[in-house]
Amino acid sequence: MNCRDAQDLIPLQAAGAAVQEDSAQLEAHLQQCPHCRELMGDFTQVAAQLAIAATPTPVPAVLREALDWRIDQSLTQLPPLKMPSQTSRMGFIMALAASIALLVAVGMSLYIQHLQKTEIHGLHQLLAFSENQNRKVMAHEATVVTGWENRVHLLQSRVQQANEVIKMLKVPHLQMASLAGAGKQPSAFGRLLWDQHAKMWKFCATDLKRLQADKTYELWWITPASKKIPAGTFNVDETGFAMFTPTIPSGMKLSHTVTAAVTIEPAGGDMQPQGPVELIGKL
């Protein structure tokens, strides 16, 4: 047997399809030819890998019994089998190998696509989690900044109010009256500063409780005839402090005969006091 004949038989031998006579001649040739031995080793490895890659599918018992019966019935009717030529067997083996390789390639492609989709999905989840955390941090920082801005505005307002009080303290005819806490707020108190000549007046209150949105504090002038005149509404800040400029009716003079009182009224104020008195004092 020469190398060409041996190379035609090597794929069949590796696949276990060579007939016994050809297999014996090939083994004798392989002992003398190192090149064909190397080629035989390569085909043996390929055949082993194909056997591993192709997962066997078990044949159902019912189908196996039916096939055995059909084979037994047809053996006497069939002409003697003619062994295919070496070229036909070689083509069959190569076609089978190509089919298995194609199935393996398709399976690997689908598996790689599955891994890519899984990785992309995981990256999307990680990105969404990171964005959510960033939004929470930014929202917290915005809340902190807003809180500090509110504090700055409050301090600026306090400074402005203090400057107004300092300005009033410098006028020559300044008068002052105190309002004491009453009702459920005995620790609260108020101060009324006015200068009738300069037409300047301010009212300050502290330690008052903050009210709900539908309520407000209202200042009243109470005349000797018990007439109650509204002087304006106000709300306190988070510390319980308030300062505003009350209204004085035309022709009315603030004197020791007038009483000032603060009550709780509906938001926007009322024309006559209806709620409880929280601060009261004579001028």
| Angstrom distance (rounded) from CA 145 to CA 141 | 6
Element (H, E) at 101: helix 86-169
Q: Which residues have CB under 8 Å from 262's CB, separation 6+? A: 179, 190, 205, 217, 218, 219, 220, 277, 278, 279, 280
pTM over 0.95: no
Helix/strand/coil (H/E/C) assignment for every residue in 29-56? HHHHCHHHHHHHHHHHHHHHHHHHHCCC
Q: What domains are defined for the chain?
A: 174-282 (2.60.40)
Look at 182 and 208; give whichever has higher pLDDT: 208
pLDDT at 216: 96
pLDDT at 262: 96
Dump pLDDT digits (tens) for 198-212. 788 899 999 999 999
Look at 66 and 246; give whichever has higher pLDDT: 246
DSSP assigned state of 137: H
| Angstrom distance (rounded) from CA 113 to CA 115 | 5
Q: Is the pLDDT of residue 31 over 80?
A: yes
User: Could you tell me which of 223, 247, 225, 233 has the C-alpha nearest to residue 275?
Assistant: 233
Give SS3 for 230: strand
| Angstrom distance (rounded) from CA 218 to CA 215 | 10
Average the pLDDT over each of 104-113, 133-142, 201-210, 272-281 and give the range with the smallest value.
Answer: 104-113
